[in-house]
A and B are shown apart, each in its own frame.
Chain A
């Protein structure tokens, strides 16, 4: 059988414009490259502008997790303005309110990703014979399913809390160097607690779990989870239904990916610890299950990031740290050795997967670590970890709300003058590790580089021909049905790819990455 080139696109339900080009032979994907088809030139716009401008401009790269961009941009300015590295010298209440604003938006994003972007694929006609199909359709059919609608209703309720502290969502302006602009009153706190209780009860407990969050939090292993499934109505909740469906249709065996996970420390506590400690995790499925925390030298940890341009349409070859990296487009944009407008982000020279699964594994979540060890990473585990994170963060956000003290302080007066030098700001967007790198000189932006989560996941090969996470995951998918390659879609969407966010990767010839999947 001869190889066939198949173009999948324009794709929908990924945030941003994306097309896939695959070479398929005998039902096996031999070659695949993703083409993001939109370029805006963010870094060019920021060059030579005032050092606070990225706080307004960078979140507009992405209307879904814009607050994650604000967090990164602000932390870089804080570091350069004498507010401590990443703003850690700021008053505890300022950090707390920032965390609430960011976490509630991320919560919304998780809900919308699973129910609006990922789950509609479970309604694919491929599954028409599934014993679960009628129930799947009733709940997850786009625009009409009961859970689809509930996720629209309750995700917008969740961001009402974001708005109470930040004024609006999307695109608030309340997070500034020095803290936040807001001075929440007691009534704001009580109102938020009321809203959060409603979200917890009506969505998390009644729809996702069909049981209590409290009981769910006791689960610490895959066996304990299965035991939980057998209790009461748990297996009929959206989580239970997804688990039954995914295992029945083998979603736990496709889209395994790299099994190497990266996450940035974020959601700072005044004690210098983090709700999400971040770090590097080598999965137990393929590696040895070792976790490396970022340690006390955070600068050294981020310093291990490089961007490889061997296969990218930029002058030069090899890899460099974002502060040192150059972005000089080549004149000849014919695909060859260089075939992508993306740089390939690497950590210690190797690719990594980022996202909710990476956060849960690096933070040592017992259930997710156990599942990764026993089942391996997969489309199923990636989605499971996303829902799991929503559930376990529900009481954390309520706790944070209870800790807000209207007396403040929420802000430290911060001069607009930044110190010359190289800075970075990191945070976890819902879809994974986000970091801004900036160089300031004479109170102006000299260089601004963003590595968005999707860049990590969708990036191309590097000089050592190592695949990125999405390419790797797609290798595990059959491609028998080219008219309806639902497995490839599952694998792609399980990463929650956000092309609008992949700010500097794209371009002219539209190829952002090209993966050679098998020799």
Chain B
């Protein structure tokens, strides 16, 4: 048995494709072999092009060739003036091509922020009217609408992230290939809980500093990035710090604040000129659901309880800071 997969890129940067190529266990090529994946088309990987590709899209849309899994990478523009012609495919508006394919797809998967909710192209003032498959920024709807169900009865499976981790993509596909779609638990944004069910903060090696409110005041210095460097880790759902990237690391492991990119509506959902990346401290409450007063007390006492060895260790393991020339 083989599984027909069609991967289409709209307003994409290929970042999710590049991320997918980094997949380990299984390697992408191995996965394709072992699961009989019939990769009908992928813009970077397939030999198919031109008239043959156009015919293929027609055959899929009309049901002559069954489409088991449709994967969309990139945002879909509505502009200019609702024509969708800011992005075309063989002369047709991309939005129409994707709508037709989604209508016949067994499963539809949105990889990355752009396909999920529009991502950076949808950032204010959203010059092209970019949207994701089921969201436009934080607004439900998008190209296919919230009520969309694939042939197998599932909503669009959203795998946000800029980019999505290769495991999020490949293990979702493997679960589908293993016939275990019904076991993929989705959260309220239709993100698989198996990847988005913890905060990015979980597993961050700076957690001790977080607990005792020891802040990184300058980059490269050990401490918590949430307090003064605008880290979105505790407010963001992803397993980046459990799964690690490229088998080695994560943003917060190299002193970079989490930018919150798995949040529906990123970047506008978390970014504003008053609250730019890399800087603004978060006060309280952290997110909805927190009880403000107990939270503040916990933080206050956590800070009071900071053991002296922790401050000393932060200092001992931090490199020197440079000084400006002038």
Contacts and interface: CB of A to CB of B under 8 A. Distances in A.
Interface of A: 8-13, 15-17, 19, 37-41, 44-45, 49-50, 52-53, 55-57, 60-64, 66, 82-84, 89-91, 93-94, 112, 116-117, 120, 123, 142-144, 148-149, 152-153, 155-156, 159-160, 162-174, 176, 178-183, 185, 191, 406-414, 416, 500, 507-508, 510
Interface string B211-241: 0000000111110000000000000000010
B15 A152 contact: no
Nearest to B319: A408
Contact of A500 (B14, B77, B128): B14
A174 B251 contact: yes
B185 interface: no
B292 interface: no
Nearest to A91: B322
Contacts of A123: 47
Interface residues of B, number: 91
Contacts of B41: 12
Nearest to A63: B15
Contact of B320 (A44, A173, A409): A409
Nearest to A12: B49
A465 B319 CA distance: 55
Given A410-B319, A411-B220, A164 B87 contact: no
Contacts, number: 277
A409 B319 contact: yes
B220 A10 contact: no
B15 to A, nearest CB: 2
A171 B325 contact: no
A507 B50 CA distance: 20
Q: Which 8 residue pairs spanning A and B have beta carbons closest together?
A: A63-B15, A408-B319, A41-B127, A168-B245, A163-B246, A412-B322, A181-B255, A409-B322
Given A83-B324, A172-B256, A173-B251, A162 B44 contact: no
Nearest to A81: B324
A63 B19 contact: yes
Given A39-B128, A408-B321, A163 B86 contact: no
A12 B53 contact: yes
A39 B251 contact: no
Contact of A411 (B12, B248, B322, B326): B322
Interface of B: 9-19, 21-24, 27-29, 32-33, 39, 41, 43-50, 53-54, 75, 77, 80, 85-90, 94, 119-121, 123-128, 130, 162-163, 218-222, 240, 245-257, 259, 267, 271, 273, 276-279, 317-326
Contact of B256 (A17, A167, A508): A167
A156 B17 CA distance: 12
Given A57-B120, A170-B18, A508 B85 contact: yes
A84, A90, A172: most-surrounded residue (chain B CB, <10 A): A172
Contacts of A153: 27
A412 to B, nearest CB: 4
Given A112-B21, A183-B221, 7 more contacts: A40-B86, A45-B120, A62-B15, A144-B29, A165-B254, A168-B245, A180-B220
B321 A409 contact: yes
Contact of B14 (A40, A63, A93): A63
Nearest to B85: A508
B267 to A, nearest CB: 7
Contacts of B43: 12-13, 17
16 contacts: A11-B50, A12-B43, A19-B90, A41-B121, A60-B120, A64-B14, A142-B45, A143-B45, A169-B245, A170-B163, A182-B254, A183-B222, A191-B248, A408-B320, A500-B13, A500-B14
Given A63-B19, A160-B246, A40 B46 contact: no
